[in-house]
Amino acid sequence: MKMTFRWYGDDDPVQLWQIRQIPGVTGIVSAIYDVPVGEAWPLDKILELKAKIESAGLELSVIESVPVHEHIKLGLPDRDRLIANYRQTLRNLGKAGIRTVCYNFMPVFDWTRSQLDYVLEDGSNALIYDEEVVQRMNPLTGELQLPGWDSSYRKEDLKLLFDQYALVDEEKLWDNLAYFVKAIMPVAEEAGVLMSIHPDDPPWPIFGLPRIITGGDALERFIRLYDGSVNGLCLCSGSLGANPDNDIPALIRRFGEEGRIHFVHARNIKFTGERSFQESAHLSSAGSLDMAEIVRALRDIGYEGPTRPDHGRMIWGETGRPGYGLYDRALGAVYLNGMWEAIGKERAATKG
């Protein structure tokens, strides 16, 4: 397992030199943030980002993400032009030596929460999802202002998107995903880039929009869209784990044994009700997911790819991007690396 850390570029309050000092972290997960969605990423911008990260003694391990334009998800007539741009981005990433790309196919909204600064019992702040609160929200009124999705939409643009998605059910979204996957994977293979789809977060429909990458059967259907190991998964324990029916260690073994897990987001959540949860510290005892068993499953499949501690709490008075503070994610990285080392030494002693 290769421990990495998400970094949002020069505007990120967390600095590369701080990340460099976290024991066991060697890689950075980042992206190009100033190229409009749908346009090809220039090679020189990719190389500039890579050089900046390498100058700090780290490696650009994963691009998260290369966003998929909404017109591709909707299957609109200009999708072929947009897919051609996406293919060129993958070629440029391959030329720059980037080997893993994470992306998602969630309509309109990326990860969604009902509150960003919920105060936990220990006084720290965390992201939470309360289904009752979300059900009362209307994104078209402008009351939903959360990170994790494109807040640059004007109200009229968002209304148009919702009108367009009214014609797209789950099966149509699957058709559009299949079209996209079959178009990009041959180029990814040529470029030497592993593609990792991120599951929907949360893994159920929101605001009347379809969501399809939600659990084991959906992941199986996705994998079968393109018969090649380049077509893989970002196994996000927190996203999939929001549905108690998703057994994360079992999913890791199921898809890891055939080499389809290319990237791992490791985080814990605590169930607070049906389809409701709060994000917690990474420890197994802090949430509802058994992180030790999740790490053990990754050991079982011989996972050697990038892993990053996902959303963390805001602790010790830290402010900044909700869910992406330095301190709690750093603790998570050390915790995960510690379990990885302990399990490995335990098995080596048993064999000896």
Encode pLDDT of 73-121 as tens digits: 999 999 999 999 999 999 999 999 999 999 999 999 888 899 999 999 9
Nearest to 101 by CA among 37, 30, 4: 30
In the numeric block, the tokens 């990495």 are attached to 4
> Per the residue annotation, which of 236, 262, 282, 335 is the catalytic one?
236
State the SS3 of the chain.
CEEEEECCHHHCCCCHHHHHCCCCEEEEEECCCCCCCCCCCCHHHHHHHHHHHHHCCCEEEEEECCCCCHHHHHCCCCHHHHHHHHHHHHHHHHHCCCCEEEECCCCCCCCCCCEEEEECCCCCEEEEECHHHHHHCCHHHCCCCCCCCCCCCCHHHHHHHHHHHCCCCHHHHHHHHHHHHHHHHHHHHHHCCEEEECCCCCCCCECCECCCCCCHHHHHHHHCCCCCCCEEEEEEHHHHHCCCCCCHHHHHHHHHCCCCEEEEEECCEEEEECCEEEECCCCHHHCCCCHHHHHHHHHHCCCCCEEEECCCCECCCCCCCCCCCHHHHHHHHHHHHHHHHHHHHHHHHHHC
| pLDDT value of residue 342 | 94
Catalytic one of 86, 118, 226, 324: 324
pLDDT 10s digits, 3-53: 999 999 999 999 999 999 999 999 999 999 999 999 999 999 999 999 999
**Local confidence band at 352 (pLDDT 50, 70, 90 cut-offs):** low
Looking at residue 161, its amino acid is L
pLDDT tier at 144 (50, 70, 90 boundaries)? low
Mean pLDDT of 347-351: 83
Establish whether 102 is a catalytic residue: no
Q: Could you confirm whether 71 is annotated as catalytic?
A: no
CA–CA distance, 279 with 127 (Å, rounded to integer): 6
User: Does residue 236 carry a catalytic annotation?
Assistant: yes
311 included as an active-site residue = yes
Point out the catalytic residue in the list 130, 200, 310, 328.
Answer: 310
Residue recorded with tokens 């059900």: 135
The two beta strands, 2-6 and 306-309, are parallel
* Confidence band for 338, pLDDT divided at 50, 70 and 90: very high
Residue 137's pLDDT band, with cuts at 50, 70 and 90, is confident
- Identify whether 10 is a catalytic site residue: no
Catalytic hit among 69, 71, 262, 265? 265
User: Which amino acid belongs to residue 203?
Assistant: P
- With 70 as the cut, is the pLDDT of residue 147 above it? no
Would you give the end-to-end CA distance of the chain in angstroms?
22
Of 103, 311, 328, 335, the catalytic one is 311
- Average pLDDT on 59-76 reads 97
pLDDT beyond 70 at 146:
no
Active site annotation includes 324: yes
Q: What pLDDT does 142 receive?
A: 65
Q: What is the per-residue pLDDT for 150?
A: 47
Residue 148 predicted with pLDDT over 80: no
**pLDDT per position as a tens digit, 242-297:** 999 999 999 999 999 999 999 999 999 999 999 999 999 999 999 999 999 999 99
Out of 198, 201, 262, 335, pick the active-site residue: 198
Residue 333 in this model has a pLDDT that exceeds 50: yes
CA distance 269 to 276: 10
Q: What is the pLDDT of residues 169-220, one digit of tens each?
A: 999 999 999 999 999 999 999 999 999 999 999 999 999 999 999 999 999 9
Q: What domains appear along the chain, each with residue ranges and CATH number?
A: 2-351 (3.20.20.150)
